[in-house]
Amino acid sequence: MTKVLVVDDSNSIRDMVSFTLKSAGYNTVEAKDGQDGLTKAQGGGFDLVISDVNMPIMDGIELCQELRKLPSFKFTPILMLTTESSGDMKQRGKSAGATGWLVKPFNPEKLLATIKRVVR
């Protein structure tokens, strides 16, 4: 089953993303900030990472950079959850190695349709 790592410091957003994914048959693991996400990533076997950008301790950009250093995450799709669709954020994300972005506010149907670009 497709396993997704969901990282967001907002409990409700994290719950909603996780719920949406689970409803569609995905398996999810949740983390509350970048550091927590990195720790949980060590578990391996992830097909996708969805992460917020603004988080305490370690933000999404740094998480992405750190994940890309891990062999098991070299090609894993990493999507940034962001409210900014400005070019600046896209660039930062890409430079960090992100695969793409998902724009907030979060729309469940849109999320599910969009992640099809990177997971089955």
- Site of interaction with other proteins (CB under 8 A): 9-13, 15-16, 19-20, 23-24, 54-56, 74-78, 83-86, 94, 97-101, 103-110, 112-114, 116-120
The residue with tokens 């070019």 is 87
Task: Report, in Å, the least distance between residue 50 CB and other proteins.
Answer: 12
Strands (E), the chain: 3-7, 27-31, 48-52, 78-82, 100-103
Judged by CB, which is closer to other proteins: 19, or 43?
A: 19
The residue with tokens 């509350």 is 32
Strands 3-7 and 27-31: what pairing? parallel
Judged by CB, which is closer to other proteins: 40, or 104?
A: 104
Task: Report, in Å, the least distance between residue 42 CB and other proteins.
Answer: 18
Distance CA 31, CA 14 (A): 8
Task: Report, in Å, the least distance between residue 20 CB and other proteins.
Answer: 5
